Every structure is written in C-alpha cells, then in structure tokens.
Amino acid sequence: MALPSDSSVKAVGGNGKSYLLPFALVTSLFFLWGLANSLNGTLIKHFQTALHLSRAQAGIVDSAFYIGYFVMAIPAGFILNRVGYKKGILIGLLLYATGAILFYPAAEIRVYAFFLFALFIIACGLAFLETAANPYVTVLGTPKWAEVRINFSQFFNGLSTIFAPVIGSLFIFSSTEYTNDLLNAMPAYQAETIRIAEAHSVQMPYLALAGIVLFVAILFSLVHMPEISNASETHASMKGIFKHKHLVAGIIAQFFYVGAQASIWGYFIDLKLHFAANDHLEIVKFFYRITDDMTPTQIASYHASFGFILFMLGRFVGTGLLTFFRAERLLSAYAIICFSLLVFAWTGEGILSVMAILAVYFFISIMFPTIFALSIKNLGSQVKLGSSLVIMAIAGGAVLPPLTGLVSQTGMQNALIVPAVAFLFILYFGVRGYKLDAAVNEDKLVQ
C-alpha cells in the first residue's frame, strides 16, 4: 500500500530531507511488538496444562505483560526526552531480547512466576519501543496524514499477528490434546513427564524471537536516526498535561481498547472450543490444510490465525479509508460495529458466533493507532510524555482479561460482555472525547 502523495516522510523542520530509511526501520518495530502481543493468547491456553493452571490463573499472563507497560511507559517518556529516539529504541530492543531469553530457564524450572517476570521484562522493552515509534511516525510528514502514516506502520503490526497462532500450533501446542482433567487421571510420573515436555516447547520459539530482536538492534545501531524534537522537550514536565481533555479521554479510550483486544485475543481459543469445538471454517481448512488427526485446540489456533489475517486486512483497508473519511468518524463507526458483533455472538451459538468474533478482528484494526494519533495532537513539547501516558493505558490489557476470565466462569459466552462494554467508551471518544480544547495555544501544535 502506498502512502498518499503529500505524506512523504520528511523532516518536520521543513528542509524537505527524506527520512524514508529511518521510517522503514521504525516501522519494523511495529511487526516485532505485534508478534510478542499476539503470542500471549497461545501462552494462556498452553500454560493451563503445562503449568496446571485454571483459565483465570493463566489469564495473569496478560496482566504481567501489560503491567510492564504501565510501570515503564512514563519512565520511558522521560528517558526518551533525555537520550533521544535512537538510544531509547535500543534500550527497548535489549529489554525485549532479555525477556525472550529468560523463557529458557523459566521452562527448565517450570515456575509460573518466572514466566510472568520474563513477560514483564518483554513488556518493559515494548513500552520503550511504542513510546518512541508511535509519535515518531506521526511527525514524519504533514499533519494532515498523521493518522494515515501511523495506520500504515501499524499494518505491519497486524501482519505479525498472523504468525503467532501458527507458531503456537506448529511449535508450542502438542499434537495430542491434553487437559488438566486428563492429566490428573494419569499416573503422577506420566503426567509430570508430559507437563515437562509441554513447558519446554516454548523455549526454542522464544530463543528464535530473541535472536531476531537482537539482529534488529544491530541494524538500529548502524543506521543514522534523525532526532526530530523540539529543544524544549528535554526539560518538559507533566505540569498541566492533564488540562488537555482530549488526551485524558484518549488515555481512557486506549485503556478500554487494549483491554478489549487482549480479552478477545486471549480467550478466542477457549471461545472457539465453547461455541464450535468440532466445526471447521472451510476457508481456514483450505488454506491451512487442516487434517482429521489435528486436535480441536490446534484447529482453534489456526482459526485464531485467520482472525489475525482479518486484523491485517482491516489495517490495510482502514488506512485507505482514512484518506476519505475523518479518523474520528471511522473510529466511531467501527466501535458501533464491534459492539453489535459481540452482542450477536453472545446471544448466538455455533459457528456463526465464532464468525462474528472473527469479524471483530477486522474492525478493531485501526483503533489503537487512530486513538493514539487523535490523543497526542497539540501537545507541543509534552508530546513524548503524552505519548507515554497513552502507552501506559495499555495497562487495560492487565485489568480487563482477568475480569473477562472471572465473568467467563458464569458461562464462557459471557466473556464477550467485558469487551462489548469497552467499545461503548471508544464510541464516546470518537463522537466527542477526541475534540481539542479551544484553550490550547497555537504554539503548542506538534504537527
């Protein structure tokens, strides 16, 4: 997909110098953090048997991950103000790789807290990457196309999410379907042997991920990255930042969006098994060559992968639509559609409910980057700090999934209630919350 002709990546200062290579390199980061995020759904399902956890306990995977964002986002904003984009990105990549490497010893000792710590470290690294990359792509060009540029970069985030369920099905999930009830009925030594093998299956995928991240870090260290910042950013503070009502509304909207996304992604496999354990989507069966000897969980993981294809296509289509429609209007329309689809799935049954949930993947695709771009407008020297607050709101992924897990215990389909309610606030943000405060001074314009 090509960007609009007048959204070429140039210095904000107006000298016309092209920064296409840095833009492309930063866009690669969107791919990397999408991969880490979407692997969490695989881990939630896998840890239930590998570590003998309940569904609610396994849901803490998302909590540990998104708490990392919450803890590190604001420090990342201040550090970025001091050291600049390039060094901040390198810090993020090294933290990301360290967390992925820690999966190896965590699997050896099979301590859940160790896995959660590794995920926390990965998320701390991603907090740096997202705090830097999201505002960076919005200022590399004309203000008119800021939402288009960030959605274009986020398209590669969507692309990466396709691979996580495939990785889970091929390299993490066993070819034999195990449940805690089944393992509990086995002799203790046999069940323990299986759980050890299940835990070890995450080692090589995460070591490979660490290697890729370190390679990207080497590329960043070798390429010149322009520092596009205001001189006043070095001494910027949080003073008065919450007077920007659109920023506050954006932080809340992002909290609900990420919580809704994490809930849907994290519990999709369980929802698929609940609604249609033995029903296959023929299009998925065609593309993935599903065989009769595959387990329902493996097949459900492939279905999740198809959902991520829809997510990527949604980014592709949404980026194009944003050249014709105002960002806030498209966001509002998509929020209404997502709410309606989840209500349909909640009140329905069978494969139709599964298809409705999969359709949500398409319509949530533009929400994160669009909310982000609308939230940080007109923040001036506080743009990195404002960005860090919006990234901190990713903590919604730590709060809503456990709540979703608890609600699901009253009936698996009830897990859809939590994300459905979240989309109502996103609708409010798209209708009213995005509006800029008239009191904002013109000299605070960031774009």
Q: What are phi and psi of 18, to 5 degrees?
A: -80, 135
- Region 381-407: mean pLDDT is 85
Query: CA-CA distance, 324 to 318, in Å (whole number)?
Result: 10
Model confidence band, residue 113 (pLDDT cutoffs 50, 70, 90): very high
Query: CA-CA distance, 168 to 46, in Å (whole number)?
Result: 9
Beta bridge partners of 286: none
Residue 12 counted as domain residue: no
Query: CA-CA distance, 36 to 39, in Å (whole number)?
Result: 5
Q: What is the model's pLDDT at position 211?
A: 95
- Region 178-189: mean pLDDT is 74
Residue 282 counted as domain residue: yes
Q: What is the model's pLDDT at position 288?
A: 54
Ranges of H-type helices in 51-145: 55-58, 60-101, 103-109, 112-139
Query: CA-CA distance, 318 to 364, in Å (whole number)?
Result: 10
* Overall domain count for the chain: 1
19 has a pLDDT exceeding 70? no
The better pLDDT of the pair 434, 140 is held by 434
Yes or no: say if 56 and 363 are a contact pair by the CB < 8 Å rule.
no
Model confidence band, residue 35 (pLDDT cutoffs 50, 70, 90): confident
Residue 232 counted as domain residue: no
Neighbours of 389 (CB within 10 A): 25
Model confidence band, residue 15 (pLDDT cutoffs 50, 70, 90): very low
- From the CA atom positions of the chain, what is the Rg in Å? 21
307: enclosing H helix or E strand: helix 296-321
Query: CA-CA distance, 130 to 127, in Å (whole number)?
Result: 5
Neighbours of 51 (CB within 10 A): 18
Q: What are phi and psi of 10, to 5 degrees?
A: -135, 165
36 has a pLDDT exceeding 90? no
Per cent of the chain over pLDDT 70 is 80
11 has a pLDDT exceeding 50? no
Of the ranges 93-97, 234-238, 392-396, which one carries the lowest mean pLDDT score? 234-238
204 has a pLDDT exceeding 60? yes
pLDDT tens track for 55-79: 778 878 878 887 888 889 889 888 8
Yes or no: say if 363 and 337 are a contact pair by the CB < 8 Å rule.
yes
Residue 151 counted as domain residue: yes
Residue 176 counted as domain residue: yes
Residue 14 counted as domain residue: no
Residue 231 counted as domain residue: no
Residue 8 counted as domain residue: no
Yes or no: say if 35 and 378 are a contact pair by the CB < 8 Å rule.
no
Whole-model pTM? 0.72
Neighbours of 414 (CB within 10 A): 14
Return the DSSP state at 10.
Answer: B
Yes or no: say if 314 and 159 are a contact pair by the CB < 8 Å rule.
no
Q: What is the model's pLDDT at position 290?
A: 57
Model confidence band, residue 2 (pLDDT cutoffs 50, 70, 90): very low
Domain residue limits at 142: 20-224+241-435
Query: CA-CA distance, 341 to 31, in Å (whole number)?
Result: 27
Q: What is the model's pLDDT at position 154?
A: 74
Of the ranges 144-148, 313-317, 344-348, 367-371, which one carries the lowest mean pLDDT score? 144-148
CATH of the domain at 124: 1.20.1250.20
Model confidence band, residue 119 (pLDDT cutoffs 50, 70, 90): very high
20-50 and 203-222 helices, crossing angle to 10°: 160
Beta bridge partners of 10: 18
Query: CA-CA distance, 305 to 314, in Å (whole number)?
Result: 14
CA distance from start to end of the chain: 23
